[in-house]
Amino acid sequence: MLVADLSDQLGNQMFAYASVKTIASKKGYNFHFVRAFNSRINNSDPKYGCEIHTIFPQTAAELLSELPPLPNIWTETVTASSSQVYAKEAADVPDNTYMKGHFISCLYFQDNLEQVRKWFSFSPDILNLCQSRFHYIQKAHPDKHLVAVHFRVGDDYRTQGFLLHQSYWYRAAEYMIRKYGKEHVLFLPFYDYRPSSGGIVNRFMQQYPCENIRGTLVEDMCTMTLFQDLIVSNSSFSAMAGILNNTKDKQVLRPAVYPVGTQYQPTDCFPDSWTIIPAQRDRLSWLYCRFMRLKGRLLKLFR
């Protein structure tokens, strides 16, 4: 039996689940998962919550209320010098191992996508609603190429140094405009945070032709899987939406960098087939993160 430690929010949970369950399936091991304590909830669906086992009830039977005694522990190690998140030695663990890590790399399950998409199949009520919403937009704009755009710009990203500079989304939009022509493109923004005025999302919507069909947390991920063209952010949530998207001839644009704090995460969470768009970290986000870390060290020293 392999037991995955699922931590953080939905996208991270899905990556760890898909990665470790794929390893278990290939080895012929049983699979279960435990849920790590999560004090930070960025978004939650009013009906389905923000847990993998409530959003995808087919996974609920694999949830353990507590970690059983296991003789082996494998811990993911990703440093600033790591060239990728994927660790091939994770595929060689023995049976009865507790798997600790985020596993945010599509390399763990890229040859098992058919099964992964079944594991994360949306319930009929969600899928029908999202398909109806998508078809409505198609009928309302029959001459437009619909492009989904995901923004991950909430306070948790800003304060932790994860935020991308807004120029990434502008470059991605211009890429689509060069391909289709501005009069033939309509952008559909999906986001974790949008202030009443100002901010990256509002500035984008003022500059480019957009229509807002954003729904709940679960509806947004499901809807993003329906688009032929998708712009993702440095987010496991939108990366997983792009991975689950099985649209024929789809094109996914992704950022060239994945900032995390004062460093960068390797970008093998994104498939190689996705189009790389130049990107850079938001400097204010980086400075804020650096300041808070320095402040924490000084407070610890004074104590």
243 and 205 in a single domain? The answer is yes
The rounded distance, in Å, linking the Cα atoms of 10 and 183 is: 35
Q: 281 with 257: CB under 8 angstroms?
A: yes
For residue 41, being part of any structural domain is answered with yes
Q: How far is CA 294 from CA 49, 161, 291, 299, in A?
A: 35, 13, 5, 9
Shared domain for 94 and 147, answered yes or no, is no
Q: What φ, ψ does residue 16 adopt, rounded to 5°? A: -65, -40
CATH value at residue 174: 3.40.50.11350
Task: Please check whether residue 296 lies inside any domain of the structure.
Answer: no
Which of 59, 56, 62 lies closest to 121 in space, CA to CA? 56
- Among residues 96, 118, 140, the one where a domain terminates is 118
Same domain, 139 and 60: no
For residue 104, what is the DSSP state? -
Last residue of a domain, one of 118, 142, 176: 118
Q: Are 164 and 281 in contact (CB under 8 A)?
A: yes
Token digits for 37? 């304590």
Q: Please indicate, yes or no, if residue 16 is contained in any of the structural domains.
A: yes
Do both 35 and 82 map to the same domain?
Answer: yes
Q: How much is the CA Rg of the chain, to the nearest whole Å?
A: 20
What is the model's pLDDT at position 130?
A: 97
Spatial contact of 33 and 20, defined as CB atoms under 8 Å apart? yes
Per-residue tens of pLDDT for the chain, all 303 residues: 999 999 999 999 999 999 999 999 999 999 999 998 776 778 889 999 999 999 999 999 999 999 999 999 999 999 878 999 999 999 999 999 999 999 999 999 999 999 999 999 999 999 999 999 999 999 999 999 999 999 999 999 999 999 999 999 999 999 999 999 999 999 999 999 999 999 999 999 999 999 999 999 999 999 999 999 999 999 999 999 999 999 999 999 999 999 999 999 999 999 999 999 999 999 999 999 998 888 777 777 776
Contact status, residue 224 vs residue 241, Cβ threshold 8 Å? yes
Helix and strand element counts for the chain (H, E): 10, 11
Q: What is the end-to-end Cα distance of the chain in Å, rounded?
A: 44
Report DSSP letters for 262-286, one per residue: TEE--STTS-TTSEEE---B-HHHH
Burial of 83: CB neighbours in 10 Å, binned 0-12, 13-18, 19+: exposed
Is the residue at 204 inside a domain?
yes
* 276 and 248 share one domain: yes
Residue 108 sits in the same domain as residue 232: no
| DSSP code of residue 228 | S
262: Cβ–Cβ under 8 A, 6 or more apart, which residues? 161, 286, 289, 290, 293
What are the start-end ranges of the E strands in the chain? 2-6, 31-35, 72-75, 97-100, 145-151, 185-191, 229-231, 251-255, 259-260, 263-264, 275-277
Establish if 257 belongs to a structural domain: yes
- CA dist 222 and 126 (Å) reads 8
Query: Both 128 and 114 in a single domain?
Result: no
Query: Phi and psi (nearest 5°) for 229?
Result: -120, 130
Residues 107, 255, single domain; the answer is no
Q: How far is CA 92 from the centre of its chain?
A: 26
* Cα–Cα distance for residue pair 7/25, rounded to 1 Å: 21
**Of 147, 226, 151, residue with least CA distance to 185:** 147
Among the candidates 83, 99, 118, a domain finishes at 118
Looking at the structure, tell me whether residues 205 and 172 fall in a common domain.
yes
Contact 226, 205 (CB under 8 A): no
pTM of the entire predicted model = 0.95
Assess whether 283 and 227 both reside in one domain. yes
| pLDDT at site 115 | 97
* Strands of 89-184, DSSP E: 97-100, 145-151
Residue 298 lies in a domain: no
* pLDDT at residue number 173: 98
Asked if residue 303 belongs to a domain, the reply is no
Q: Report the number of distinct structural domains present in the chain.
A: 2
Q: Does residue 88 share a domain with residue 39?
A: yes
Identify the pLDDT of residue 141.
97
> What is the residue whose two structure tokens read 């999302």?
201
Say whether both 101 and 134 belong to one domain.
Answer: no
Q: Residue 179's domain spans which residues?
A: 123-290
Residue whose tokens read 């790389």: 276
User: Is 297 domain-assigned?
Assistant: no
